[in-house]
Amino acid sequence: MNIAILDDFLGVVPTLDAYRKLAGHRVTVFRDALTDVDELGRRLGEFDALVLSRERTPITASLLERLPNLRIISQTGVIPHIDVAACTRRGVLVCTTRTGPSYTTAELTWGLILASMRHIPQEAVALREGRWQTRFGRGLRGLTLGVFGYGWIGALVASYGRAFDMKVQVWGRAGSLMRAREAGYETAPDQRTFFETSDIVTLHLRMLPETDGIVTAADLAAMKPDALFVNTSRAALVERGALLAALRAGRPGHAALDVFDEEPVVGAHAPLVSMDNVVCSPHVGYVTRDRFETMFESAFEQVLACARGEPVNVVNPEVLGA
C-alpha cells in the first residue's frame, strides 16, 4: 500500500520500533501541518492509506473528494475531525481503537499543576537572570481538586490528588458521577457549585459535539480569584475566548494549558502563551516514546489488516458490505 503518515511534528515516527511493521509498503511521513484543502488534496491524492496523529488534520467531505485512491484512514482515539458519513459514501474505511489510559497525560497534568502553583517556570527564569525568590507559591495539601470528567484519565488524576492529601470532588455526566462515588470521591451537586468550590479545576473530557464549549464564561467567572484552571484535554471544551477574558478579569487567577484553539502555536501568536499567570506546554501530554509506540503500533496494525483484506476496528462497517 501507499501510506501517508501525517503531522509528525517531531519527526520521530520513523525511529519507532512500530514503524518496522510497514516494511514492504511505500511510506511517506509529513512533518508540517497543512490546512488548505486544495494543498492537502494535491499532497495526498496518490495515497491508499492515511495514518493520522490525533485530530491534527480534519478529514472533510471536501478533502475526500480530492483523494480518489484512498481506502483507509487509521488512527487511535476519538475521531470528531473525520467526516465518517462522507468516508462511508466514498467507500473509505475508518479504523480507530482506544489504547488504554494515557498515563502520560495524567502525569503532565500534575506537572502543570505543580509548575503553576509553585511558579516554577517563572522562578527558573528569575534565577537565570540573577534574582532569588521572587514570589510566593501555594501548597496543595488540603485544597479542593475539581476533576471534570471521570474517565480513564480523570480517574488517574483524581487518585494522584489523593496522594497529595487533597480533597477531591468530581463533576461530569451521570455515569462519571456514579463511578466517582463508587471509588469514594465526593461529587458536586451541579456544575456551577463545582467551579465555585474548587481551588483547582482540571478538564478530562472527550471532545464530542455535546461537550463543545461545555465550560462557559459564567463557569470561569464563578471560580475563586486564586484558583487554577487546567486543560490538558481539548481547547474547544471551553467556550471560545472565554478563558482569555476570564484570566484578564481575574477569575480564575491562573491557568495551566497543554491545548489551544489552533495548533501548532508558533511564534507565540496565542495570547494565552504570553500571560504571566498562565503556564503553557505545546500539547505534549501524550508525546512520549512509550505512548507513541503504543498508538502507532495500533494504527499501523489497522492498515496492515486492511491490506490483508481482514480490516479491524472499523467505525463504518457499511463500507465492508458495499
For the annotated catalytic residues, the residue numbers are 234, 263, 283
Is residue 261 within 8 Å of 242, Cβ to Cβ? no
d(CA 278, CA 183): 32
For 183, phi then psi, to 5°, come to -85, 0
- For residue 2, the cross-strand partners are 26
Is residue 90 within 8 Å of 317, Cβ to Cβ? no
Nearest to 299 by CA among 29, 12, 73, 34: 73
Nearest to 89 by CA among 66, 64, 69, 57: 64
Is residue 54 within 8 Å of 82, Cβ to Cβ? no
**Assigned C-alpha cell, 319:** 463500507
Nearest to 227 by CA among 259, 204, 201: 201
The upper half-sphere exposure of residue 22, i.e. CA atoms within 13 Å in the direction of its Cβ, equals: 27
d(CA 306, CA 280): 39
d(CA 202, CA 56): 22
Contacts of 239 (CB under 8 A, 6+ apart): 213, 215, 216, 217
Nearest to 131 by CA among 119, 140, 139: 119
For 87, phi then psi, to 5°, come to -60, -45
